[in-house]
Structure 1
Amino acid sequence: MKLTRRDFLKTSLLGIPALMFSSENLKDEPKIERVKIKIKNLPEPLKGLNLALISDIHSGIFMTKEEMKKLADILNKLNADLIFMPGDFITSDPEEIYPLVEAFKDIKAKYGVFATLGNHEFFRREQNKIAKALEDSGFRVLRNQNEKININGEHFYILGIDDLRYGADLDKAMKNVEKEKFKILLSHKPYDFPKFARYQIQLTVSGHTHGGQIVLAKIDDIYIAPASLVSRFISGHYKLGDSHLYVTRGVGVVGIPIRLNCPPEITNITLI
């Protein structure tokens, strides 16, 4: 009998409990993933653009202010032109946003720090409070919005949408965007990448999956991890036509403070 992809994943995941109890991989230093993404017809002034990506920080008992300050230091050392933070700043309590903004208040990027909200920001229905705390600290929070950026005489657009389950509106985010111009989208969840590609968005950056967090194995492009039951976009670089998606493993954890075969990640993307 031929197994479907989903059946294959379910069968493979039966081995997780024993591995969890045998794992000592409770917390790792973030790994800086340096990635070059070739964008078709990228305007010359935008070639070499240096992007930093960090997601799923999950401020809380497993991510203290002191630990977040170390992450902020790593970000600043990348000397990024733009910093992207696509959601899940907190774990469960809206008050967790305050140690986070204190820890990240001094991060700098030449053209700004951009953020979108993840599903954890909506759980207690205080997403507006969280967004305001980020905005007051200098983050540009894009909630179904876009911002026009000018670099060396060339302009392009950064778009951001709310979490896909809690009010994402890509049409609204695309308002007044020149379709022929280069576009970068921040979407907490990567699930709708095929739709983003149809909108001719050249680069989407996402998180949410934690790269699987508990990864038993990787076979070709299939991650043997619980997250694979929900999405095929789990970690790293994906391409559909001329559109690119990068899914970061993030830096925080949820549920249990364990990562298996899945170190936390800060991503340094260079456009070529």
Structure 2
Amino acid sequence: MRFVGFALVAVAVLALLVYVHRYVWRRLVGDTTTPGSPWRTAGTIAAYALPLLSVGALVSGRTGTPFPLQQVLAWPGYLWLAVLLYLTLALLVGEAVRPLLRRWLARRAPAAPTREPEPAPVSVPAKESAPAPEPAPAKEPAQAPGDASRRLFVARAVGGAAAVAGLGTVGYGTYGVLRGPRVKRVTVPLARLPRSAHGFRIAVVSDIHLGPILGRSHTQRIVDTVNRTQPDLIAVVGDLVDGSVADLGRAAEPLAGLRSRRGAFFVTGNHEYFSGAAQWVDQVRELGLRPLENARVESAGFDLAGVNDIAGESEGQGPDFARALGDRDRERAVVLLAHQPVVIDEAVEYGVDLQLSGHTHGGQLWPGNLIAELANPTVAGLDRYGDTQLYVSRGAGAWGPPVRVGAPSDITVVELASTQA
């Protein structure tokens, strides 16, 4: 039954993609070029090739495709998905502009000259009248050349503007990801935090997503940014990788350069379980990070706990709040590292003071934040649930298209504040 449901969803998504590609082709190629022109040929070839590259990029990582080939497919395949989104949105806006522009052009067009009526022929009496000629059949009204040229101009103007808007949006969003995350600073007061821990700073890093696009240089940018904040503690809250240790171990090596007074800690995200979670837990341990697998440690004036991601339940390694928090001293404040915000209800039940999460990317590609809001209690930022506060980072990388629109990547320095100070 589950397979049938998945198959139906897959067919629906495929049908939608076919329709969207057909729509984009018609507006950008079919309406703006003439049959047989090289531009139409090139546009038609692209309309078939680009979605195939996108499908290849999406499935190559799950089918054991050699990593170099994954890298070849990833850039054009994933970028096209982002371009397709914003081209479609821009063209839909253009549908409202199109009739207005046609009417405006029609009003500005010069009026066609009127012909004077020809004088009626003078009849001359004749001895024998000739039979009257048959009347010529009425001709179909021909399409005015001005109408056709206006339609072509409007199609090219709207299509060109949509292309500029779509490509410009994706270009700016790609630059934001490749430039690296910016630092955000948030102060969180905790009632049970002692004065001695007032001002304790935790650098929260989530969703780095090392893979066929974001590699070693991306990791190094993140490490350099974190170290410049001089944090007391570093928390890497899941989705470090999209691939195996064999393919991405070298890309993760700069993590060994993370520096803080109280060390660096790691919890798994759902993508670790797609990539071999056990191997990556061992790998980050070798790089100097301490994995918190449903575990807790004492830090400076508070407890730091971590739980496995929900995706680990398929391997019998899901979150275990009782193991991580069941026997703790309730008089002490506790900060919980958990990749997905949806476990906030369990955090409230176990009296967590602050949960630090990622996973949502803040939506990554607008209007994806609207979809993310349906599946997560908080998409980005700080919220309160009862006596528990939840902070969700937008993440330091990107999944799929290396593009962010309306959800810039971040590394957040969370400064804990004691209400007793």
Matched, 1:229 2:380: no
Are the counterparts in 1 of residues 242 and 274 from structure 2 also a CA contact under 8 Å?
no
Matches of 1:89 and 1:224, distance apart in 2: 21
TM-score w.r.t. the length of structure 1 is 0.85
Matches of 2:407 and 2:320, distance apart in 1: 31
Q: Secondary structure at the match of 2:336?
A: strand
The equivalences for 1:1-272 within 5 A come to 17-18=88-89, 21-22=166-167, 23=169, 24=171, 25-28=173-176, 29-124=180-275, 126-149=276-299, 151=300, 154=301, 156-166=302-312, 167-216=318-367, 224-272=369-417
Greater percentage in helix = 2
Give the CA deviation at 1:243: 1.2
Give the CA deviation at 1:100: 4.0
In structure 2, do the counterparts of structure 1 residues 199 and 96 end up closer, same or farther at CA, with 3 Å as the change threshold?
farther
Matches of 2:371 and 2:405, distance apart in 1: 12
Partner deviation per Cα, 1:122-173 (whole Å, 9 max, x = no partner): 114x211110010111101001111122x3xx4x211111112311111111
Partner deviation per Cα, 1:208-243 (whole Å, 9 max, x = no partner): 111110123xxxxxx843322311311010112221
Structure 1, gaps ≥5 residues long: 1-14, 217-222
Greater percentage in strand = 1
Partner deviation per Cα, 1:74-106 (whole Å, 9 max, x = no partner): 101111001000111101334354134311111
Are the counterparts in 2 of residues 59 and 99 from structure 1 also a CA contact under 8 Å?
no
Give the CA deviation at 1:256: 1.5
Matches of 1:80 and 1:129, distance apart in 2: 27
- Which amino acid counterpart does residue 248 of structure 1 have in structure 2? S
CA-based RMSD: 1.9
Matches of 1:224 and 1:103, distance apart in 2: 31
Between 182-191 and 226-235, report the one with greater CA deviation.
Answer: 226-235
Matches of 2:89 and 2:250, distance apart in 1: 35
Matches of 1:79 and 1:257, distance apart in 2: 28
Are the counterparts in 2 of residues 97 and 130 from structure 1 also a CA contact under 8 Å?
no
Which has more radius of gyration? 2
Q: How many residues align?
A: 247
Matches of 2:251 and 2:373, distance apart in 1: 29
Matches of 1:75 and 1:247, distance apart in 2: 17
Structure 2, gaps ≥5 residues long: 1-84, 91-164, 313-317
Matches of 2:337 and 2:294, distance apart in 1: 10
Sequence identity (%)? 28
Give the CA deviation at 1:175: 4.3
- Which amino acid counterpart does residue 73 of structure 1 have in structure 2? D
Matches of 2:247 and 2:191, distance apart in 1: 40
Partner deviation per Cα, 1:150-206 (whole Å, 9 max, x = no partner): x3xx4x211111112311111111143212211011101011212211211001100
TM-score w.r.t. the length of structure 2 is 0.56
Matches of 1:214 and 1:228, distance apart in 2: 13
Between 23-32 and 237-246, report the one with greater CA deviation.
Answer: 23-32
Give the CA deviation at 1:21: 3.6
Matches of 1:109 and 1:193, distance apart in 2: 27
In structure 2, do the counterparts of structure 1 residues 127 and 91 end up closer, same or farther at CA, with 3 Å as the change threshold?
same
